[in-house]
Amino acid sequence: MGMFQRFVDKATLNDEEYEDEYFEDEAEEEAPEEDATSDVTPIRPVEPAPEVSRIVTAWPVTFKDVQSFADQFRKGLPVILNLSGADESDRYRIVDFALGVCYGLHGQLNQISNDVLLMTPRAIKMESHRPEATDRF
């Protein structure tokens, strides 16, 4: 058998047995048998990316109002916080709470203006096309 024919025979899937050392070593190693009743589940995302069909707008005035927008943010919805009606002490508490919620859920808190903040969940990225402001959190 010529060298070219041996190469062709090895490269194609034939039913013949080969006496080559390489193939003898492979024949001795048997593949592990697969259990037909294994409890393997298919890979799926941990949490589905939400379809952003709405944005929640909240006007918290006191710290008592934070649960309503936090629950919406936990559902994966972006939240616009308008703090124009809150006094200075409540404003600091609301912003601290919003920062904690965003940090805990791997989101971001973005300042839109002096009174307006945007809470974006992890699955949503915000692009800014303005120079960075000097008053950041």
Residue 32 confidence (pLDDT) = 57
Whole-structure pTM value: 0.56
The residues, any chain, with a CB within 8 Å of residue 121's CB and separated by 6 or more, are 50, 73, 76, 77, 78, 105, 107
Place of tokens 């109002």: 65
Per-residue pLDDT of the chain (137 residues; tens, 9 = 90+): 677 777 777 776 655 555 555 555 555 555 556 555 667 777 776 665 556 678 889 999 999 989 999 999 998 899 999 999 999 999 999 999 999 999 999 999 998 888 999 999 988 877 777 666 555 55
Domain boundaries, the chain: 38-137
Second CATH level (architecture) for the domain 38-137: 2-Layer Sandwich (3.30)
Is residue 118 classed as helix, strand or coil in its secondary structure? strand
Residue 122 confidence (pLDDT) = 87
